[in-house]
Structure 1
Amino acid sequence: MPLPMSRRSLAALLPLAFAAPAAAGRHDPEWIGFRQRFMAPEGRVVDTGNGNVSHTEGQGWALLFAVHFDDRASFDRILGWTRRNLQRRGDALFSWRWRPNVAQPVDDPNNATDGDIYIAWALLRGAARWGDPGLRALAVAIGRDLLRLLWRDVAGQGVLLPGLNGFETATQVVVNPSYFVFPAYAALAEAVPDPRWQRLTTDALAVLRVARFGRWGLPPDWLSLPRAGGRPDLPTRWPPRFSFDAVRVPLLLAWGGHATEPAVGAAGAFWAAPTMPAWADLRTDAVAEYPASGGVRAIAALVGNARPVPLPPVRGAADYYAASLGLLVALACADRGLPTVLSPA
């Protein structure tokens, strides 16, 4: 049975966007475990499953976790490292990746829009929790530049480019559906008033209702939108999969109050398989020969209406990404008022 409240107006979501996170503390074992395993002392979040790089996705998520667990000291370290090492010149956005043990750790100045959104959202939540207008000012600058630099109108549908460079041609715009961060839009709209935030929700929902592929009707990791209009398609540049990116789509839909959307139900049906494969090929219907991580299983439990929602312990997570997905589900449950329970290791 799906979660309730699948559709809400932007105004109705505003109290949720600024609600204080559920009771949690900086001494919570799950947060301590995440810091110990995946965060360097200076505030760099380490992607242990991807060459120990750091990226704005991880920095933004860790900032959200620090607010949730009321850990201002860690928040300041994460934010400080992010601004020192990833802040772009000329705008308020961030370069998407930092690589260790190389002469030029930031070798690609391109941003990642989801990372920028998570950072801005965390800054707004931190500003509300700790009464710090300086954090809000940083978030406002990011929100303005997201709209100024990345907004595109594609055949009447508003989207944000996944990054400043490399995602549009004369005939198409490529988007990543896991970058549709539905639960953040109301907070950004309150901080940076602009009707385009509401359009991002409305138009993204419309896109996801038709951009479903393969045997299970799943959303893809990457999606091509024709500038002339018509049905979205799978771009050739990336594998045509419901995979490590797209698993976040049902989480973000449910977190944002859209849990009865078809993409959520499709993911739930796919994950109902006993083995719960890590990915599906949306052209051939082939599936991975290995299972989904504990973090993905937590998303499946959330959208499958398990109550309480079982959360995988950080100490048992295979890597940074699996641990992060589990904590994101914990934050979503806190925001939606859903009970959780820690699963056995």
Structure 2
Amino acid sequence: MRPGPSRLARWLVAGACALTPLVSADVAQAAAPAPTSAGEGAGSRAAANPGACTWADWNAFKHNLLSADGRVIDASTPRQITVSEGQSYALFFALVANDRAAFDTILQWTENNLAQGDLTAHLPAWIWGRTDIDEKGAPVAASGASAASAAPASKGTWGVIDSNSASDADLWIAYTLLEAGRLWNERRYTALGTVMARNIVRSETATLPGLGRTVLPGPQGFKLDKDSWRLNPSYVPLQVMRRFALALPEASEWKALLDSSTKLVNDTAPHGFSPDWVVYSVKSGGKNGFGPDAPTHAESAYNAIRVYLWAGMLAFDDPLRAQTLATFSPLSAFVAAHGFPPERVDTQTGTPGPSEGNGGFSAAVAPYLSALGRTDLADAQVERSRTLAQKSPPGYYSSVLMLFGLGYLQGLYHFDAQGRVAPAWTARCPAPR
């Protein structure tokens, strides 16, 4: 039996229709939908299916951040980018909401625009957006043209900015397709998820001496030299990895990936805070192991916040739950003492920076605090997240952290010990316990 939602989470469910949306309509209006190869879809702004549980935050997310043709837009950037991570999360939320129309629209846009029209053959490019300007909004010359003759910024050209794929997004897409196939009894989703999983193993993993087969953040750029690799603990949610290990024919490979992911999550936080990035090195005549990532100063920040989120959502009877929760106990001590999660931490000393984490950070740590039995701390972080959202509408990343964390505490979904997602709608949307 998994722990039920806390007192405040029950109140949030009861008053879901009255909750302030995660983001304001002004954000979406600032991000006019770009022309895409997929064209305008069937209307992802439409209401969820009649059989879906009411999820006000998902409806607000669709209204404010999801274009009609299925693109999650980060309007805070001049290029109004879309990242494969955002598409993967939106697919998961659509499944949790039993929103088949949105799911299909998001999947179609992702395949047509990030995967060259075929997810069976290509893992999705990680970033898409305006290609006629750079990340600061300055004009960029077209191939073979001078900057002065580039396409006018007011018109805009759109497409893939970087074709390298991102394994965190690919894992979530493949996982969600497998779960959608199971829950909606749709074989084509299962088939596509299986093929994607095989492509992930082929393109985004490597066998590291002393660690075994390991998920790399992407196909290119993460093998630093012949003896070292750059890895990301937040890319490998253990429940997702377990599901692959139990569901796919290539179980032995995925079991090895689950084992290395467990070490990546639990063996890289010497002071109880997960790093955004870490380096794994093979030392001649010495001990192989993890070390700090110099470019990011071994910092725990906007990547690592997801590690605590995934840990807090492990099933009550998941064999890795107790070990993983214990790894990050200093985080709960910090929140108890200060009332908020830190925005940044030096993982080599355990010293937090001066800044408070935003409302998305609070939503992300709330399931972890609840899993520790600290429902008082979890309730306070839920309330802090909602209060900050009312004062200043959160952007794309904070919004997805809130959908994950608050949706989980609202009882809209959970994961079982086999890594399967169990949305509330599969039990006819029961009242929270």
Alignment-derived partner of residue 325 in structure 1: 401
SS in 2 for 1:99: strand
Instruction: Give the alignment's Cα RMSD to 1 decimal.
Output: 3.0
Deviation at 1:234, TM superposition (A): 1.3
Match of 1:63 in 2: 91
Q: CA deviation at 1:246?
A: 0.4
2:312 and 2:365 in contact (8 A); partners too = no
Listed one character per residue, the Cα deviations across residues 280-305 of structure 1 (whole Å, up to 9, x for unaligned) are 13356554443212222123222112
Partner of 1:137: 191
> One-letter code of the match for 1:155?
P
Q: Deviations over 1:25-65 (max 9, x none)?
A: 26531111111111111110012444431111110000000
1:82 pairs with one of 92, 95, 110: 110
2:335 paired residue number:
271
Distance change >3 Å, CA 24–CA 100, structure 1 → 2: farther
Gap regions ≥5 residues in structure 1: 5-22, 341-345
2:279–2:290: 8 Å Cα contact kept in structure 1? yes
Tell me the residue number matched to 2:295: 237
Offset of residue 113 of structure 1 = 0.1
Matched position secondary structure for 2:130: coil
**Letter matched to residue 236 of structure 1:** A
Could you report, residue by residue, the CA deviation over 1:64-85 in whole angstroms, capped at 9, with x for unpaired residues?
0000001111111111110111
- Determine if contact 1:182/1:255 at 8 Å carries over to the other structure: no
- The one-letter code of the counterpart of 1:139 is G
Query: For 2:99 and 2:86, how far apart are their aligned partners in 1?
Result: 17
* Counterpart Cα distance in 2 of 1:165 and 1:298: 32
Residue in 1 aligned with 2:171?
A: 117
Contact 1:210–1:231 (8 Å) recurs in 2? no
Match of 1:335 among 414, 421, 426: 414
Query: What is the match of residue 32 of structure 1?
Result: 59
Partners of 1:245 and 1:125 in 2: CA distance? 25
Aligned to 1:16: none
- 3-state SS, counterpart of residue 111 of structure 2: helix
Q: Using the alignment, how far apart are the partners of 2:226 and 2:77 within structure 1? A: 33
Q: Distance in 2 between matches of 1:324 and 1:194?
A: 30
Give the Cα separation in 2 of the matches to 1:81 and 1:302: 31
Gaps of 5+ in 2: 5-49, 133-156, 417-421, 425-433
Find the aligned partners of 2:277 and 2:167 in 1 and give their Cα distance: 14
Going from structure 1 to structure 2, the CA distance change for 1:206 and 1:67 (only over 3 Å counts) comes to same
The secondary structure found in structure 2 opposite 1:164 is coil
Larger radius of gyration: 2
TM-score if structure 1 supplies the norm length?
0.82
Contact 1:277 1:291 in 2 (8 A): yes
Q: Which residue of 1 aligns with 2:304?
A: 246
Identical-residue share of aligned pairs (%):
24
- Aligned partner of 1:72: which letter? R
| AA of the residue aligned to 1:126 | A
Residue equivalent to 2:367: 302
Instruction: Say if 1:211 and 1:294 are closer, same or farther in 2 by CA, change over 3 A.
Output: same
SS at match of 2:328: helix
Q: Which amino acid aligns with 1:321?
A: Y
Q: Secondary structure at the match of 1:327?
A: helix
The letter for the 1-side match of 2:328 is V
Range with greater deviation from structure 2 (284-293 or 168-177): 284-293
How many residue pairs match? The answer is 318
- 1:186 aligns to 2:242 (yes or no): yes
CA distance in 1: counterparts of 2:53 and 2:114, whole angstroms: 26
Contact (CA 8 Å) 1:26, 1:71: kept in 2 or not?
Answer: no
Q: Take 2:75 and 2:330, find their aligned partners in 1: how far apart are those partners?
A: 30
- Deviating more after overlay: 179-188 vs 34-43: 179-188
Q: Is structure 2 residue 321 aligned with structure 1 residue 293? A: no
Distance in 1, matches of 2:110 and 2:220, equals 21
Distance 1:294 1:175 in 2: 26
**Are the structure 2 counterparts of residues 271 and 230 from structure 1 closer, same or farther at C-alpha, using a change threshold of 3 Å?**
farther
Structure 1 equivalent of residue 162 of structure 2: 108
Instruction: Check whether the contact 1:253–1:264 (CA below 8 A) recurs between aligned residues.
Output: no
Kept in 1: contact 2:215–2:261 (CA 8 A): no
Cα separation, partners in 2 of 1:274 and 1:299, compared to 1, 3 Å: same
Contact residue 305 and residue 365 of structure 2 kept, 8 A: no
Equivalent residue, structure 2, for 1:160? 215
- Retained in 2: the 8 A contact 1:259–1:303? no
Residues 3 and 282 of structure 1, relative CA distance in 2, 3 Å threshold: farther
Could you tell me how far 1:142 is from its partner in structure 2?
0.6
What code does the residue aligned with 2:65 have? F
Cα deviation per residue 1:284-334 (whole Å; 9 max; x = unaligned)?
Answer: 655444321222212322211244954445964511111111111245452
Task: State the SS of the aligned residue for 1:335.
Answer: strand
One-letter identity of the residue aligned with 2:71: R
In the alignment, what sits opposite 2:101? 73
Match of 2:427 in 1: none
The Cα shift of 1:150 comes to 1.9
Residue 15 of structure 1 corresponds to: none
Comparing 322-331 and 245-254, the one that deviates more: 322-331
Map Cα deviations across residues 155-194 of structure 1 (whole Å, 9 max, x no partner): 2312111000000021201101100121212332313432
Q: Using the TM superposition, name which of 42-51 and 64-73 deviates more.
A: 42-51
Name the CA distance, whole Å, in 2 between partners of 1:141 and 1:47.
Answer: 29
